[in-house]
Structures are given as structure tokens and as C-alpha cells.
Amino acid sequence: MKFIVKLYPEIMMKSKSVRMRFTKMLETNIRNVLKKVDEEAKVQRLYDRILVKVPDNKPELGDAFAERLGCIPGIAHVVQVSEYAFDSIDHIYQQVLPKYRDEIAGKTFCVRVKRSGNHDFNSIEVERYVGGGLNQHTDALGVKLKNPDVTVNLEIDQDKLYMVERRIPGLGGFPMATQEDVLSLISGGFDSGVSSFQFIKKGARTHYCFFNLGGAQHEIGVKQVAYHLWKTYGESHKVRFVSVPFEPVVQEILERIDNGQMGVVLKRMMMRAATRIADKYGIQALVTGESLGQVSSQTLTNLNVIDRSTDLLILRPLIAMDKQDIINQSRVIGTEDFAKSIPEYCGVISQKPTVKAILSKVEKEELKFSEDLIDRVVDAAVVMDIRDIEAEMNQQVTETETVKDVASEEIVIDVRAPEEEERKPLVLDNVMVKTIPFFKLATQFADLDKSKTYLLYCDRGVMSKLQALYLIEQGYTNVKVYRP
């Protein structure tokens, strides 16, 4: 089984040298990703496309190859093909006939051919020859050029005939690492997951920077989002995950900064710390998930004041997007469930945040910070190779027991949000089910009878695991995850 990888049209429009460079990089990226599926994956670069071969003795890997190819930046689409040799136009027809005879019976069809190489026929002649033959010698309803029931897609390259078995949409964008690196400020919500993805897709190695405002639980969730994005779309290149303990900054903001300015000051402190980290690794741009007007403080005036805190380029790919479109995209890229399950954590909530921050006033407020504050938090930052998150997660998962069955003396806690719980209540025979939404669990768990064992439940097992990890971290040992 083979796949033909078609490059994104924007790459094809580039000059020959740039196109060659991009294609070579894409070839290497594909090889790096597919070797994780199977060491024997063969990747071969041609002028305008890349061929991928599934090992002959492992056809079952076809789906895994297709799935991975659909997530690699820089690919327009991929076709899965079967390959044949041929020596004449009639030989092509003779091989297509048995393959399509049953499929087109009782249906309309058309034949589409793409050809490269030297032949004594052109593509249209092949379409007519093969189409005419199929029309005469099968039970097809006839040829229909517009909206046929079946399209017989053929590709001819020199002496090879490829019959197209399926078409897999590609991600688009540019091959990874054709653009310079960025540092994405990730908080685990809908926005920063999508903004990170936009730059991965654009071919920028996307490193992650998380400011921990005081929750171990939040950090676990954010690491999971970053790992998911990297593993799914950016695995060809390793990146860093930097976690900055930001509690000292939050503390000083709460103690010293004027209430209305807190949000803008917090963001400016994040930009300053992120700039230090970016500088250390030679990264020239920061990425955020800020979107105009999404919260009342995300005004152009405030964003402008935030920008004045650093010389580094701040990129905001979602700036003009609607929230619903962002959520829809998070669903497509697989971060929606993570985002939903991450509790809204904000250590700095102004009663009345300013929408028109004034730079001089903000700068004056910031003089109240202790002098070495940024140095201290940046020095304390933990820098991880993103690949190590997997090992860390596996270790945490083994610490969280997951069970399928419930004993009658155990208690199930449904941690879903109230509206989800009301829509689809969890009812179990002979088992007590308590409902404590995830955002109340941390405060209410301590009041429960500690002689019992509690099994946390949610729809997808993400939130329940996060909450169980958190409770275990707090020293409760009688907690498991329930996955019926």
C-alpha cells in the first residue's frame, strides 16, 4: 500500500530553491513522524510530491499512516493508492476493469486521470478509453461527468499506474521548522490551544510557556493540552515546555497594585518573563490567545499597553476571531475536552478591570514591585523537553486507579458540570451517586466521610482524572476514577 502526499499549493507557488527546501524538510518530517508508527516506513521525495510506502507485510498499518499524514503541517492532501505496472493504454483499462466492475454496477461514474511522464497518449485519451470500456463492459448506469456516483481516480507516472483508493484531507500550512520558532503562552483554555495550533500549522516550532498562578491541578491540565498538540501535529521536532511559578507575582499584584490595573499588569509581567525565556532560547516572537473584546479588558488600548512591556513581537492569531469559531476549531484539533475540563483559574480578578489602561499610570504602579521579582520567577522556571511530559503523565496515571465496576459500599461522585449532569443523570443500581461539580470538589471533598472510597465520574474520563490527581496530591488516598 502506498500514499502519495501532495504539497500545499502555497509551497508549489514558491521559487524552485524554496520549494526544494520545503519539500526536503517535509520529507524529513514525514519520516520522523512515521518511523514512530513503524521503523520500516519508506518515504521518497519526488519533484512535486512525496511517496510513502506501508511495509508489504503490515497492511494493517495503513489507517495509522493515513491518520498521521493527515496531521503533518504542509500537506494539501494525501491519496492512498494501489500501484500497478502497465505497457499500454489498453493494459491500464484491463487492470481497472476488475477493480471497479462491482463498485460502479447500477451507478453513474466518471474517470479522472492525472498523468506525468512521456506517453503516446494524454490524460483525456485515457479517461475516454477507460471510461468507454467500463461503460460497455459493466452494469454501470453510464458516464456522468458532473456529480457522478463514483469517480474512478487514476494517476499515471511514467510506467506506473496508481488507482486511488481514498483521499485524506491534509492540514495545510507549511512544513514544520520552515519558519522560525515561537513561544506560545498557554493557559489551557480554548484560546491558547487554538493559537498554538495556528503556529504549529504555519510551520513554526512552537514552544510552550505556562505561568502557574497557584494550582498544581492547572499545571497538569495545561501540560496535557500542550503535549496533545505537540504529539498530534508537531511531533517531528522536539520543543520545550516551560513552567514559571507565578505565585510571587500574583501575591505582589494583590498586595501592591491598584485593583483596576491588576489584569493589565499581570499580562505585562507575563510578557516580561516570557521575553526573558524567549531570549534565552533565541526565540523572536510570543504567541497569545488574546482576542479583541472577548473579555472586557481585551481592548486595543490595553493590548497596546501590554505590548509596551516588551520589545519582542507579540503575535495574536485569534485577534479578530469569534469565540464560537475558536471553540469549533478547538473541537477539530482535539483540545475542546481539555479546555472544558480546565477550571477557570485566575489568581488576579479585578472588581472593575480597566478597559482604557494608561501606560504612564501602569508604569507608575509597577514601580511598587520588588526589584528582583521577574528575575526570581524566571530563575525558578522549570524547563522540560515536551517528550518527558508523557513519562510524567504515565507515572501520574498509575497513581490514579481507574475502575470499571463499583462495589456497593463505594460512592460515585459525578463531577460533571450541573447542566451536563442534568441532561444525562448518572443512575447506578445499588450504588450511591453524589453530584459535586468539579469546581466545588476541592472545597467540598474534605467534608466527606473518609472511611469510604470515592470513585470520580465524568463523561470522558479527563476531568475525573484531573480531579482525582489533585485530591491524591492533597493526601487523600481513597480516590479512584470510575470509567464504566
Residues 6+ apart with CB under 8 A from 4: 49, 50, 51, 52, 78, 79, 81, 155, 162
Q: Are 52 and 43 in contact (CB under 8 A)?
A: yes
The least CB distance from residue 439 to ligand ATP, in Å, is 15
The least CB distance from residue 186 to ligand ATP, in Å, is 5
x/- map, 136-175, ligand ATP, by CB under 6 A = ----------------------------------------
Residue range at the interface with ligand ATP (CB under 6 A); choices 52-60, 96-104, 123-131, 182-190: 182-190
Residues classed as catalytic: 458
Report helix, strand or coil for 321: coil
Q: Does the protein bind ligand ATP through residue 219 (CB under 6 A)?
A: no
CA distances from 191 to 171, 265, 312, 326 (A): 19, 20, 21, 7
* Whole-number Å distance between alpha carbons of 145 and 42: 36
298 in a labelled binding site:
yes
Q: Does the protein bind ligand ATP through residue 338 (CB under 6 A)?
A: no
* Whole-number Å distance between alpha carbons of 413 and 190: 26
Residue range at the interface with ligand ATP (CB under 6 A); choices 107-115, 161-169, 205-213, 471-479: 205-213
Residues 243-302 that bind ligand ATP (CB under 6 A): 288-290, 294-295
The least CB distance from residue 470 to ligand ATP, in Å, is 17
Comparing CB distances to ligand ATP, the nearer of 236 and 288 is: 288
Q: Does the protein bind ligand ATP through residue 374 (CB under 6 A)?
A: no
According to CB under 6 A, which one of 213, 249, 305, 315 is a site residue for ligand ATP? 213
* Whole-number Å distance between alpha carbons of 396 and 220: 10
According to CB under 6 A, which one of 153, 192, 299, 309 is a site residue for ligand ATP? 192
* Whole-number Å distance between alpha carbons of 234 and 173: 12
Q: How many residues at the interface with ligand ATP, by CB under 6 A?
A: 16
Report helix, strand or coil for 317: coil
144 in a labelled binding site:
no
Q: Give bridge partners of residue 109 from the DSSP assignment.
A: 143, 150
According to CB under 6 A, which one of 170, 173, 189, 353 is a site residue for ligand ATP? 189
263 in a labelled binding site:
no
Return the amino acid letter for 154: L
185 in a labelled binding site:
yes
Which phi and psi angles does 138 have, rounded to 5°? Answer: -135, 180
Nearest to 32 by CA among 23, 20, 41: 41
Q: Does the protein bind ligand ATP through residue 211 (CB under 6 A)?
A: yes
Q: How far apart are the first and last CA of the chain?
A: 38
Nearest to 195 by CA among 301, 29, 34, 314: 314
Residue range at the interface with ligand ATP (CB under 6 A); choices 52-60, 183-191, 406-414, 452-460: 183-191
Q: Does the protein bind ligand ATP through residue 347 (CB under 6 A)?
A: no
CA distances from 407 to 105, 397, 411, 453, 459 (A): 56, 22, 8, 10, 20
According to CB under 6 A, which one of 8, 65, 93, 190 is a site residue for ligand ATP? 190
Comparing CB distances to ligand ATP, the nearer of 80 and 291 is: 291
Pairing of strands 150-157, 160-172: antiparallel
Nearest to 412 by CA among 484, 343, 338, 340: 484
Q: Does the protein bind ligand ATP through residue 221 (CB under 6 A)?
A: no
According to CB under 6 A, which one of 1, 104, 182, 185 is a site residue for ligand ATP? 185
Residue range at the interface with ligand ATP (CB under 6 A); choices 10-18, 164-172, 190-198, 422-430: 190-198
The least CB distance from residue 382 to ligand ATP, in Å, is 14
The least CB distance from residue 221 to ligand ATP, in Å, is 11
Q: In this structure, what C-alpha cell is assigned to residue 313?
A: 513581537
The least CB distance from residue 293 to ligand ATP, in Å, is 11
Query: Per the annotation, where are the binding residues for ATP?
Result: 185-186, 267, 289, 298
Residues at the interface with ligand ATP (CB under 6 A):
185-192, 210-211, 213, 288-290, 294-295
